[in-house]
């Protein structure tokens, strides 16, 4: 079985997200954007409610969101950056206090399933002709990869992911042999 890969190319990532924006499927667009910009596992992403991300009394999005991760039962705080908030604003007209962010069409206040989220991500990947396996976990891995390429220390990324070992984080980054080779060339340029 092929491993899920991060989306390494920013243009491909933009195309993946905008696939749903062009189709006016805002929920699916927001799923892609939040998947990349929060680094949450899909089970935690699908559990988010409007109360988690929006302060109804203040009438504004929260800057920091606190959750308990489903898989690890560890607390996690994450920032809603400008890109995540801009996407959520598009979904705001459908918001309901206490309601889930990624509402299913099947049932009152029920989130889409993990399988449906996978179908959404896979369909967009196929539509934009990605040549590698993409899944919900690709969004989380993409966060790590892009953070690493931007110069964020792997130990910080490890903490964002709530990983217990750096080896797991390194696996998530999906570093290719070409990137390892580039390291040698960069060092030669510095000496």
Take residue 89 and report the two structure tokens written for it: 């604003």
Are 139 and 32 a contacting pair, CB within 8 Å?
yes
Mean pLDDT by 10 residues, the chain (191 residues): 81 96 96 97 97 96 96 93 97 89 87 96 95 93 94 93 89 82 85 75
pTM: 0.90
User: What pLDDT is stored for residue 188 in this prediction?
Assistant: 85
- Sequence-distant (≥ 6) Cβ neighbours of residue 79 within 8 angstroms: 63, 64, 65
- Sequence-distant (≥ 6) Cβ neighbours of residue 186 within 8 angstroms: none
Q: Which CATH architecture has domain 10-137?
A: Orthogonal Bundle (1.10)
User: What pLDDT is stored for residue 20 in this prediction?
Assistant: 96
Take residue 8 and report the two structure tokens written for it: 């390494």
User: What pLDDT is stored for residue 1 in this prediction?
Assistant: 41
User: What pLDDT is stored for residue 189 in this prediction?
Assistant: 82
Take residue 129 and report the two structure tokens written for it: 């002709």
**Integer Cα distance of 59 and 12 in angstroms:** 34
Are 120 and 69 a contacting pair, CB within 8 Å?
no
CB atoms within 10 A of CB 191: 4
- DSSP character for 92? G
Which runs of E-coded beta strand occur in the chain?
A: 54-55, 60-61, 64-68, 75-79
- Sequence-distant (≥ 6) Cβ neighbours of residue 158 within 8 angstroms: 165, 166, 168, 169
Within 13 A of 128's CA, how many CA atoms are on the CB side?
A: 23
User: What pLDDT is stored for residue 23 in this prediction?
Assistant: 96
User: What pLDDT is stored for residue 80 in this prediction?
Assistant: 97
């Amino acid at each position: 079985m092929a491993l899920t890969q991060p989306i390494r190319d920013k243009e491909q990532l933009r195309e993946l997200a905008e696939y749903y924006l062009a189709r006016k499927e805002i929920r699916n667009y927001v799923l892609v954007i939040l998947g990349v910009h929060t680094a949450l596992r899909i089970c935690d992403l699908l559990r988010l409610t409007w109360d988690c991300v929006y302060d109804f009394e203040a009438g504004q999005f929260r800057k920091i969101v606190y959750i308990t991760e489903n898989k690890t039962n560890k607390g996690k705080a994450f920032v809603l950056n400008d890109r995540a908030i801009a996407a959520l604003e598009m979904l705001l007209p459908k918001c309901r206090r206490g309601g889930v962010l990624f509402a299913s069409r099947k049932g009152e206040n029920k989130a889409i399933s993990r399988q449906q989220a996978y179908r959404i991500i896979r369909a967009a990947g196929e539509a934009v002709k990605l040549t590698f396996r993409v899944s919900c976990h690709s969004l989380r891995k993409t966060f790590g990869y892009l953070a690493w390429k931007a110069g964020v220390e792997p130990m910080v990324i490890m903490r964002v992911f709530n990983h217990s070992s750096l080896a797991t984080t390194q696996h998530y980054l999906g570093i290719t042999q070409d990137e390892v080779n580039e390291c040698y060339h960069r060092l030669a340029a510095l000496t």
